[in-house]
C-alpha cells in the first residue's frame, strides 16, 4: 500500500498493466454485472439536468427504466448507483456503428453539448474509490471482462495509473498525481536494486 495525503493506494495501480481495448471487449464493462456504477449525489443532480440533451440518444428500454425509477438507485451497500436495464446494462449506453457500447453522457461532452464528461467512477474504471472516515481507499478492480485490457496494457507496458492519468487528476488533482509518479519512480528504483 502507498499513502498520499489522505488516500491509501493499492500498489496494483503501479504494478498492473492496463489499456482499454474497446475493439476487442466492445465496452463490456458497461453492460455486464449486476449493479450500476457508483454515482455521487451531485452527479445525479447534474445528469438529471442533462437528460433533455441526451434523451434522444437513449434506448427505449433505458427511457422506460429512467421514467419508472430515475437515473439512479440505492445499491445493496446503501450507495447511489446508476440505474441499469435488465439487471445489467447501464441506462446511458448506446452502440456505435462498430457495435461498441459507449456512453451517451460522454458523447454529449465530446459533441460540445455539455461540460460534464461522465460519472467519475466510470471515468476512473478499473479503479474504484471508497471513502472511509480517516482515508480514501484507491484500489484496482480486476474483472474478467477486462482481460484484453490487461493484455494490451502488458504489451504496451502501461501501468494502470498512467492509463488513468486524466481521471485520476480529475478526482484527486495534479499535485496528487505528481506524487504518484514520484512514488512509482522510487519504487521502480528500489525494486531494481534488489
| pLDDT (0 to 100) of residue 88 | 84
CA dihedral 38, 55, 117, 120 (to 10 degrees): 0
pLDDT at 142 over 90: no
pLDDT at 87 over 90: no
| Residues sharing a CB contact under 8 Å with residue 144, sequence separation 6 or more, in sequence order | none
| pLDDT (0 to 100) of residue 192 | 53
Q: Which three cell numbers stand for residue 61?
A: 428500454
pLDDT tens for 101-133 read 899 999 999 999 999 999 999 999 999 998 889
* DSSP assignment letter at 86: T
Q: Which three cell numbers stand for residue 4?
A: 498520499
- Is 101:81 a contact under the CB 8 Å cutoff? no
CA distance 68 to 45: 17
90: left (phi over 0), alpha (psi -120 to 50) or beta: beta
| pLDDT (0 to 100) of residue 147 | 84
pLDDT tens for 8-24 read 999 999 999 999 888 88
Output the pTM of the full model.
0.87
State the burial class of residue 124 (Cβ atoms within 10 Å of its Cβ: 0-12, 13-18, 19+).
buried
| Average pLDDT estimate for 135-163 | 91
- Is 154:7 a contact under the CB 8 Å cutoff? no
pLDDT tens for 49-80 read 999 999 999 999 999 999 999 999 998 888 99
Angle (CA) 96 42 56, round 5°: 30
Amino acid at each position: 500500500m502507498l499513502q498520499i495525503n489522505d488516500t491509501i493506494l493499492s500498489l496494483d495501480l503501479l504494478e498492473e498493466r492496463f489499456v482499454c481495448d474497446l475493439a476487442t471487449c466492445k465496452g463490456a464493462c458497461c453492460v455486464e454485472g449486476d449493479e450500476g456504477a457508483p454515482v455521487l449525489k451531485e452527479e445525479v443532480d447534474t445528469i438529471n439536468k442533462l437528460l433533455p440533451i441526451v434523451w434522444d440518444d437513449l434506448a427505449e428500454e433505458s427511457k422506460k427504466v429512467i421514467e419508472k425509477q430515475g437515473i439512479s438507485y440505492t445499491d445493496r451497500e446503501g450507495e447511489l448507483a446508476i440505474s441499469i436495464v435488465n439487471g445489467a446494462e447501464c441506462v446511458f449506453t448506446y452502440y456505435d456503428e462498430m457495435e461498441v457500447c459507449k456512453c451517451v453522457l460522454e458523447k454529449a461532452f465530446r459533441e460540445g453539448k455539455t461540460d460534464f464528461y461522465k460519472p467519475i467512477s466510470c471515468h476512473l474504471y478499473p479503479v474504484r474509490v471508497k471513502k472511509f472516515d480517516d482515508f480514501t481507499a484507491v484500489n484496482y478492480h480486476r474483472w474478467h471482462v477486462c482481460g484484453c485490457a490487461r493484455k494490451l496494457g502488458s504489451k504496451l507496458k502501461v501501468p494502470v495509473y498512467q492509463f488513468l492519468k486524466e481521471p485520476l487528476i480529475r478526482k484527486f488533482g495534479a499535485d496528487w498525481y505528481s506524487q504518484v509518479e514520484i512514488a512509482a519512480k522510487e519504487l521502480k528504483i528500489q525494486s531494481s536494486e534488489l
